[in-house]
Amino acid sequence: MVKLKVKKQKENRFKLWFMVLPFTFCLLPCLCYSQPVSSSELINNAEQYDGKTVVYAGEVIGEVMARGKFAWVNLSDGKNSIGIWAERELLKELVYRGGYKVRGDWLEVTGIFHRACLYHGGDLDIHAQALTRISSGRAPAEFMSTSKRNFALALSGILFLVFILTQVILRHKNA
C-alpha cells in the first residue's frame, strides 16, 4: 500500500517536471523575449541587438512624418526616443501624438533593430513589423496656475510702485 503511494507520488512529481521543464526552456524565454527592451539598453548595446527582432514600447512623440507608403514615428520610453520606420497602414490606429498639451499614445513595436541602418544613412532605428497600441494618449485641458497668476499680479503691483518711485526720483533730480 505504502509502496503504491510512493510510486504514485513519484509519478506525480515526474508529471510535474514534465510540465514545468518545457515551460522553463521554451515558453519562458519566449515571454522574456517579448518584454520590451529599453531605449538605453538598445543604444548602449547596439552591436548586440543589431539586426535582431526586438520589442520596444514608448510614447508617440511629435509628428508622424509620412514618406510614401511608409512613415517615421518617434517613440520615447522616457529616457530616449527612437525612430520607428513603419508602413503607414500600421499607424492607422494612432490618435494622440505627444507634445505640450498632449500625452501621446503608447505603442509597442516589434521590429528589426538597426545599429546603423543601411537604408537610412546609418541612423539607429527600428523597422516595424507589428505595432500595437498599448494605451491611449490624452489631451488634458490646461488650467491657469493660480499661484503663478497671483505672483504675476503681485509683481505688477511692485512694478507699478517702482515706476512711481523712479518718476519721483527723476523729478527730484531734475528739480
- Residue numbers of the site for other proteins (CB under 8 A)? 40, 43-47, 61-67, 71-72, 74, 76, 80-81, 83, 85, 98-101, 103, 115-116, 118, 120-125, 142-145, 148-149, 151-152, 155-156, 158-159, 162-163, 165-166, 169-170, 173
Q: How far is the CB of 67 from other proteins (least distance, A)?
A: 6
Q: How far is the CB of 83 from other proteins (least distance, A)?
A: 5
What is the Cα–Cα distance from 106 to 96, expressed in whole angstroms?
Answer: 9
Q: How far is the CB of 159 from other proteins (least distance, A)?
A: 5
What is the Cα–Cα distance from 141 to 151, expressed in whole angstroms?
Answer: 22
Is 20 or 155 the residue whose CB approaches other proteins more closely? 155
Are 127 and 53 within 8 A, CB to CB? no
Q: Where do we find the cell 518545457?
A: 22
What is the Cα–Cα distance from 156 to 159, expressed in whole angstroms?
Answer: 5
Is 19 or 154 the residue whose CB approaches other proteins more closely? 154
Q: Which residues, 6 or more positions from 87, have their beta carbon under 8 angstroms from its beta carbon?
A: 69, 70, 71, 128
Q: How far is the CB of 71 from other proteins (least distance, A)?
A: 7
Is 34 or 48 the residue whose CB approaches other proteins more closely? 48
Is 3 or 148 the residue whose CB approaches other proteins more closely? 148
Q: How far is the CB of 113 from other proteins (least distance, A)?
A: 13
Q: Which residues, 6 or more positions from 74, have their beta carbon under 8 angstroms from its beta carbon?
A: 60, 61, 62, 81, 82, 83, 84
What is the Cα–Cα distance from 36 to 130, expressed in whole angstroms?
Answer: 13
Is 18 or 47 the residue whose CB approaches other proteins more closely? 47
